[in-house]
C-alpha cells in the first residue's frame, strides 16, 4: 500500500587493490505525513580490514535502525538514520539530494552525505564525531527511466580510525573524487532480482581499475510492487 512499504537498500564500494565493503538495510516504512515516512529495521555491515604483513580480517556487524525518509524543504530528498549495535556502537547518517532539470532529460543533482559516530568499542573502531562527509554534484542524462548515464565529482573528508588493541590510529584524509557510471531503473524489484542475481554477484566481484561500485536502493511495498536502481561507477581519487 502507499502507507506501508518495505525498503531494501544495498551498497557495495570497492577500491583498487582492496576488497569490497558492503552495507545492506531492510526497513519497514510507514507514511506519517504527505512528505515523510518513518522507518525501522536492521542494517548489516561487512568490511575487509587490512592488517600488517599482508594479513586481512573481516569485520561484520548488525545494527538496529530507525529514521526518516522523505522530502525536506526546497525539495531535497532526504534519508536520516540512527543506528545502535554491538560493541556499544551508536551512529547517525544523513543523505540529502535534489534534482535540477536543465532539460527534460539532462539533470544536475547536488548531494551531501554525512556519517557521525557517537561511540564505537569494536576492534576496528572509527574515531567518534564526524566520521566522514561527502559533498558532490552528479550530472546525468536520462535516455529513459531505465537507462541513465552520469558523471560525478565530489569532495570527501574522512576522520580516520581510532587506536585500539587491534589497530593504530590513522590521520584524517580529504580530497576530490571523480567518476562516471550508469544507473539502471526497474519497475518491479522481485522479477528483477530473481532474473539477475547471478549478474549482480558477478558485478560485485569486478576488480575495477580505479575504484568503486555501488548497488543502490531497491524499494517494494507490501504487495510486491516497487522498483530498483542499480548504479555502477568508477571513481578516481585525488587526495590533498
What DSSP string describes the chain? --SEEEEEEEEEE-BTTS--EEEEEEEEEEE-SSSEEEEEEEEEEEEEEE-GGG-EEEEEEEEEEEEEEEEEGGGEEEEEEEEEETTTEEEEEEEEE--EESSSSEEEEEEEEEEEEEE--STTPBPSEEEEEEEEEEEEE-SSSSEEEEEEEEEEEE--BPP-SS------EEEEEEEEEEEEEES-HHHHHHHHHHHHHHHHT---SSB--B---EEEETTS-EEEEEEEEEEEEEE-
What per-residue confidence (pLDDT) applies to 50?
A: 67
What per-residue confidence (pLDDT) applies to 181?
A: 75
What per-residue confidence (pLDDT) applies to 137?
A: 95
What per-residue confidence (pLDDT) applies to 93?
A: 96
Can you list the residues of the chain whose pLDDT is less than 70? 1, 12-20, 49-55, 184-240
What per-residue confidence (pLDDT) applies to 42?
A: 96
pTM: 0.75
Q: What is the pLDDT of residues 38-78, one digit of tens each?
A: 999 999 988 876 666 666 777 889 999 999 999 998 889 99
What per-residue confidence (pLDDT) applies to 195?
A: 59
Amino acid at each position: 500500500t502507499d502507507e506501508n512499504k518495505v525498503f531494501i537498500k544495498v551498497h557495495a564500494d570497492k577500491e583498487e587493490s582492496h576488497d569490497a565493503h558492503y552495507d545492506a538495510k531492510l526497513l519497514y516504512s510507514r507514511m506519517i505525513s504527505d512528505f515523510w515516512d518513518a522507518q525501522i529495521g536492521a542494517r548489516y555491515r561487512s568490511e575487509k580490514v587490512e592488517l600488517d604483513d599482508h594479513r586481512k580480517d573481516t569485520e561484520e556487524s548488525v545494527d538496529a535502525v530507525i529514521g526518516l525518509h522523505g522530502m525536506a524543504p526546497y525539495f531535497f530528498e532526504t534519508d536520516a538514520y540512527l543506528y545502535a549495535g554491538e560493541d556499544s556502537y551508536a551512529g547517525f547518517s544523513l543523505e540529502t539530494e535534489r534534482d535540477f532539470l536543465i532539460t527534460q532529460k539532462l539533470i544536475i543533482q547536488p548531494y551531501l552525505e554525512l556519517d557521525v559516530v557517537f561511540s564505537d568499542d569494536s576492534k576496528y573502531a572509527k574515531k567518534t564525531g564526524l566520521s566522514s562527509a561527502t559533498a558532490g554534484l552528479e550530472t546525468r542524462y536520462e535516455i529513459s527511466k531505465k537507462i541513465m548515464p552520469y558523471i560525478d565529482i565530489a569532495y570527501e573528508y574522512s576522520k580516520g580510525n581510532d587506536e585500539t588493541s587491534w589497530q593504530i590510529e590513522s590521520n584524517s584524509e580529504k580530497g576530490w573524487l571523480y567518476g562516471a557510471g550508469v544507473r539502471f531503473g526497474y519497475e518491479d524489484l522481485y522479477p528483477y532480482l530473481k532474473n539477475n542475481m547471478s549478474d549482480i554477484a558477478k558485478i560485485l566481484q569486478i576488480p575495477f581499475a580505479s575504484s568503486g561500485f555501488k548497488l543502490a536502493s531497491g524499494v517494494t511495498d507490501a504487495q510486491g510492487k516497487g522498483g530498483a536502481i542499480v548504479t555502477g561507477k568508477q571513481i578516481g581519487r585525488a587526495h590533498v
